[in-house]
Amino acid sequence: MIITIDGPAGAGKSSIARRVASELGFEFLDTGAMYRAVTWGVMQRGIAWDDVEALVQFADAACLVWQDDRIYLDDQDISEEIRTPQVTSHIRHLADPPKIRERITAQQRRIATGRDIVTEGRDQGTEVFPDAHCKIFLTASPEERARRRQQQLAQNGRAMTVEEILTAQNQRDLEDRMRPVGRLRAASDAIVLQTDGMTPDEVRLEVLRLVRERLEASATNSASGGTSA
């Protein structure tokens, strides 16, 4: 069973997805971390961002493992290294080329096969898992998302003003919505949840309620279909 949680940067997807997965007894898959890991690896090796063929070859050869909320690239735990502004500013070079997305998407589907998964990202419900059992689209105003990001960075010992974060975030939003493949958008059958003014616990409880409601409806429909057959 697959549950997707999509939304813009700073909407709280990762933290909510982790907590929802834990409460449901599902596994959590941070697909954004996979793109960040490949981006970090490219930066470490000095591959030119405009050398698409070399980027594709690296994405093909990269050994990515997601285990216990940690991301490994070629057996190296880089869970902290991938969360820097430098990595964030270069993700588009890996997220835009269709050939690279195809390879990383295939890895995401492979990891999810036969598992109960809560996965989060930008295009999980639209491109990666279009047949997911439940799709949630989390969003909030740009200002609210920037404030949340500032608090998250402060907890990790990094200081940025809300204005700095908002400027970078607005650029990221524009790029995410303009991408030719995997652009940011809510799936037609996704439940859109606006979270301005909500605490993390309130968001968590509402997502859990929506997920359980959707899963119960799906189970009822399946049972009815089976009976009528």
- 10 marked ligand binding residue: yes
- For the chain, domain boundaries: 1-26+117-212, 29-115
Q: Would you state the torsion angle of the CA atoms of residues 168, 174, 178, 183, taken in this order, to the nearest 10 degrees? A: 80
Q: 1-26+117-212 and 29-115: same fold? A: yes
User: CA dihedral defined by 212, 129, 57, 85, rounded to 10 degrees?
Assistant: -50
- In degrees, rounded to 5, the angle at the alpha carbon of residue 27 between the alpha carbons of residues 5 and 24 is 75
* Ligand-binding site membership of 11 (annotated): yes
25 annotated ligand binder: no
The answer to whether the annotation marks 7 as part of a ligand binding site is yes
The response to whether 157 counts as a known ligand-binding position is: no
Output the pLDDT for position 172: 85
The verdict on whether residue 9 carries a ligand-binding annotation is yes
Measure CA 103 to chain center: 16
Task: Identify which of 9, 2, 56, 5 has the alpha carbon closest to the alpha carbon of residue 152.
Answer: 9
Any idea which fold 29-115 has? Rossmann fold (3.40.50)
| CA pair distance 139, 192, nearest whole angstrom | 8
* pLDDT tens digits, one per residue of 24-64: 999 999 888 999 999 999 999 999 999 999 999 999 899 88
Of 165, 202, 212, nearest to 16 by C-alpha is 202
Helix axes 52-61, 31-45, angle to 10 degrees: 120
When pLDDT is cut at 50, 70 and 90, the band that residue 226 belongs to is low
14 annotated as a binding-site residue: yes
Give the domain 1-26+117-212 fold.
Rossmann fold (3.40.50)
